[in-house]
Amino acid sequence: MKLLPMYKKVLSAGVFLLSLGTVQAQDTLKLDFQGAVEIALSKNLDYQMQSNQMEVLKREKQSALASHFPSANINTSFQQQRGQQFQQIEGEIVVTNVTNEIVSTGLGLNMPVFNAGRRILDTQSSRLNYLAGEKGLERAAQQVIFDVSRRYLQVLLDGELLRIALENLENQKQQLEQITGFVDAGLRTVSDQYNQESEVARLESVAINAQVTLENDLWDLSEYLQLEPTVIPELTPVDPMNTLISFEGMTVGELYELALENRSDLEQQEMLVTAAKKRVQSIKAMYYPRLNAFYNYNTFFTSLDDRSLREQLLKIYPQNTLGLNLSIPIFNNFQTRLDVGRRKVAYQNQILQKESVDRKVYQEVKLAYQNYRAAVLNEQNTQVQVLAAEEAQNAVSERFRLGLSNFVDLSTANQQLVAAQADQAQAVFTLYFQEVLMKHALGTLDVME
């Protein structure tokens, strides 16, 4: 008996949609996990912005270190005076109406001698800010790796679910041919054939939906990696079955201690708190007197003097000044008090931020551990589930072949087997991802993982 016309249409539509992947695969990019991470790090906006900010922190650290050395400035000027000029000639002041051209130049050095430790505190603060920036950049890289892992593994899981769906569809097509033969031989009723045709059509839809899901998640990964619109990544598979249960037997407290040792964002917050405290101490130094040493060298040339430019600048008019400058703050309109208040608020806010991160780390570790334990148990249960479903499906298939079981029993056993296989694939990839999630929560996630 021939297939129903409607089934032919559904099957043709399914084959067409499944072939779209082949058409789009003309411009594919073979990509492994490490390559995906490298692309993401080079394109991720937050990571690149933090990388750029590191250059500013580096300059601030260099500037604070350089403040321990004298500042030097060379100045020079040219001016022309027209009108009455005062000259001293033979002990008398003579006023003449002439044009006087003057060239002056000088060198100034200034060296802080005492400023209540402000230079040292600023240097320490800027160094801590730079180190905190490095830790923040490290955590940002781990976040990118985590995001890529989630999308990468989801695409691989979609591919596995599509494979299961297509394999089941092919098996049921063969089952349909077998039932059709039984119907033609008068061993089965035509209703069994119609039911099987309906089941094949349903599985065709399942395969189409699995293909669409795969395409959508591929697009999500491509979008995160900012690939060209025409480029479809072809991912190198990983073996989730080789997942090592590396956190078995550890308690939440032990894992939290491990996170305290490895989480770079915790180290970052500790450094930022210390840096903010030193900034408060630094600005308080403005309440105290400041002592600076200075040296100035000045000379000039005037056109009213008949001697040469070289002689005037180097022999006649040079002046050397060496001294100390003591500045005692008395009243500056409460500007220092305002600056100290602002720094204190920033310091207190930084403490609150650190406490928030501390709580967040503990919550992330606890939640990741609970999900990890659930994933381990679920993966073990699905192994039993698949074995039982395979035995049941084999037994029902044999009974159906012998005419001792009906189509409903056969269909139910087949659906249970496929569901068990899908659950196992989901459980295996979930466990693999929970390993990644645990390492992310503990701060030990690395691109080579």
- What whole-number distance in Å separates Cα of residue 52 and Cα of residue 61? 15
CA gyration radius for the chain?
A: 40
CB hemisphere CA count around 17 (13 angstroms): 18
Tokens of 316: 């006649």
Looking only at the bridges linking them, the beta strands covering 232-235 and 28-31 are: parallel
Strands across the sheet containing 319-327: 71-89, 92-114, 290-302, 319-327
Burial label, 105 (beta-carbon count in 10 A; 0-12, 13-18, 19+) = middle
Categorize the per-residue pLDDT at 8 as very low, low, confident or very high, splitting at 50, 70 and 90. Answer: very low
pLDDT tens for 99-122 read 888 889 999 999 999 988 999 999
**What does each C-alpha distance from 127 to 132, 345, 371 come to in angstroms?**
9, 21, 39
- What whole-number distance in Å separates Cα of residue 134 and Cα of residue 165? 47
| CA triple 422-426-429, angle to 5 deg | 140
Greatest mean pLDDT among 70-74, 406-410, 420-424 lies in 70-74
pLDDT tens for 116-160 read 899 999 999 999 999 999 999 999 999 999 999 999 999 999 999
Greatest mean pLDDT among 181-185, 420-424, 444-448 lies in 420-424
Tokens 């979609």 map to which residue? Answer: 158
Tokens 């490290």 map to which residue? Answer: 138
- Between 4-18, 188-202, 263-277, 352-366, the lowest mean confidence (pLDDT) is in 4-18
**What does each C-alpha distance from 404 to 99, 171, 196, 414 come to in angstroms?**
127, 21, 17, 17
Q: Which long-range contacts (CB under 8 A, 24 or more apart) does 376-379 make?
A: 376/245, 376/248, 376/431, 378/427, 378/430, 378/431, 379/424, 379/427, 379/428, 379/430, 379/431
pLDDT of residue 281: 94
> What count of residues does the chain have?
449
Does residue 13 register a pLDDT over 60? no
Judged by phi (left if over 0) then psi (alpha if -120 to 50, else beta), residue 117 lies in left
Cα-Cα-Cα-Cα dihedral sign, residues 350, 352, 358, 361: negative
Does residue 68 register a pLDDT over 80? yes
pLDDT of residue 92: 60
Question: Mean pLDDT throughout 156-182?
Answer: 88
Q: In sequence order, what DSSP letters do the residues of 359-386 get, joined into one string?
A: HHHHHHHHHHHHHHHHHHHHHHHHHHHH
- Domain extent listing, the chain: 5-69+115-288+333-442, 74-114+293-328
pLDDT tens for 347-384 read 999 999 999 999 999 999 999 999 988 988 898 898 89
Q: Which fold has domain 5-69+115-288+333-442?
A: Outer membrane efflux proteins (OEP) (1.20.1600)
